[in-house]
């Protein structure tokens, strides 16, 4: 096995991949079956994909469970030409794994995460903690800071929240999110939703939708009932998508940002769509 020597040394391949070794012990399971058990994973960033994935040395993967893909998803990963189906629980998980074309990663195999793409392995662990959606990016920070700023939220001219005790989430690459105490939010103006999403940094979010007749996307309000320890300060608080509501902070109206969520928010889901989110939440 060829093991990268230095963790924290970001490298670039001719194909445009970024990668670096990780010192975390990572395991991946299909149900109760352990498919990956690796102490030498590498993190890989594909071009135009905002989050990393793991790739693993072949001898730390159950290669006996892999079969050449019957219908390979060519074009779904940067330059990848070799895809594998995974034999588990008496069936095949199609295109559950693949290899990158980069020479530096030739001895590694990457896997899909079911909670992100809807296929692949469904349980992942770093050390003894289960993680969701995708690996945590070592170059991303998420800070939850209590504040005394005066925050107001308006929808279609109606003030739906007013507080002087928010918790602000500062997350690399995203606008500041304002988490507000429930008693400072007009929850009577919203209906609970069956939509939920997961985030490797914050946990699992539940949602509410605006009850008004205005042209407002669904699921614009969310909360983390049981957040991960790093952002415990937002437990039970409520936050709005800055992209589609008007937020006033210390009497200064904030500009609506454009983010990766903007396109999703511009499309209204039907009641049959989106009950369980597979993308990272905000």
How far apart are the C-alpha atoms of 51 and 95, rounded to whole Å?
Answer: 20
Average pLDDT of the chain is 90
C-alpha separations of 276 from 101, 229, 242 in Å: 33, 23, 22
Query: What is the pLDDT, as a whole number, of residue 89?
Result: 79
Backbone angles phi, psi at 69, to 5 degrees: -60, 135
Tokens of residue 19, six digits: 């990668």
Q: Which of 226, 247, 233 is nearest to 144 (CA)?
A: 233
Give the number of other CB atoms < 10 A from CB of residue 107.
15
Please, what are the domains in the chain? 11-131 (2.170.150.40), 142-265 (2.170.150.40)
How far apart are the C-alpha atoms of 59 and 174, rounded to whole Å?
Answer: 38
How far apart are the C-alpha atoms of 240 and 216, rounded to whole Å?
Answer: 12
How far apart are the C-alpha atoms of 236 and 92, rounded to whole Å?
Answer: 40
Tokens of residue 196, six digits: 């939920």
Write down the residue that tokens 């507000």 correspond to: 180
Query: What is the pLDDT, as a whole number, of residue 9?
Result: 84
DSSP 164: S
How far apart are the C-alpha atoms of 282 and 276, rounded to whole Å?
Answer: 15
What confidence tens digit (pLDDT) does each residue in 15-65 have?
999 999 999 999 999 999 999 999 999 999 999 888 999 999 999 999 999
What confidence tens digit (pLDDT) does each residue in 110-138 have?
999 998 888 899 999 999 999 989 999 99
What confidence tens digit (pLDDT) does each residue in 77-122 have?
988 889 999 998 788 999 999 999 999 999 999 999 998 888 899 9
Strand partners, 36: 28, 61
Query: What is the pLDDT, as a whole number, of residue 75?
Result: 80
Q: What's the predicted TM-score (pTM) here?
A: 0.82
């Amino acid at each position: 096995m060829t093991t990268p020597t230095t963790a924290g040394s970001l490298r670039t391949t001719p194909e445009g991949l970024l990668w670096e070794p990780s010192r975390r012990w990572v395991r991946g399971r299909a149900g109760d079956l352990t498919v990956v058990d690796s102490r030498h994973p590498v993190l890989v960033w594909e071009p135009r994909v905002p989050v990393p994935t793991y790739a693993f040395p072949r001898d730390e993967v159950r290669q006996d469970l892999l079969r050449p893909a019957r219908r390979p998803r060519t074009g779904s990963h940067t330059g990848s030409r070799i895809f594998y189906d995974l034999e588990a629980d008496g069936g095949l998980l199609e295109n559950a794994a693949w290899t990158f074309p980069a020479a530096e990663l030739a001895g590694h195999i990457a896997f899909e995460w079911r909670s992100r793409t809807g296929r692949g392995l469904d349980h992942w662990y770093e050390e003894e903690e289960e993680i969701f959606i995708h690996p945590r990016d070592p170059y991303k920070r998420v800070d939850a800071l209590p504040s005394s700023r005066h925050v107001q939220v308006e929808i279609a001219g109606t003030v739906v929240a007013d507080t002087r005790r928010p918790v602000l989430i500062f997350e690399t690459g995203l606008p500041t999110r304002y988490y507000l105490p429930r008693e400072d939010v007009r929850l009577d103006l919203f209906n609970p939703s069956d939509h939920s999403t997961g985030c490797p940094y914050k946990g699992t979010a539940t949602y509410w939708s605006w009850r008004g007749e205005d042209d407002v996307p669904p699921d614009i309000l969310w909360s983390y009932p049981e957040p991960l320890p790093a952002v415990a300060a937002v437990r039970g608080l409520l936050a709005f998508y800055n992209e589609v509501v008007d937020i006033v902070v210390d009497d200064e109206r904030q500009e609506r940002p454009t983010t990766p969520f903007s396109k999703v928010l511009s499309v209204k889901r039907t009641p049959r769509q989106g009950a369980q989110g597979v993308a990272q939440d905000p």
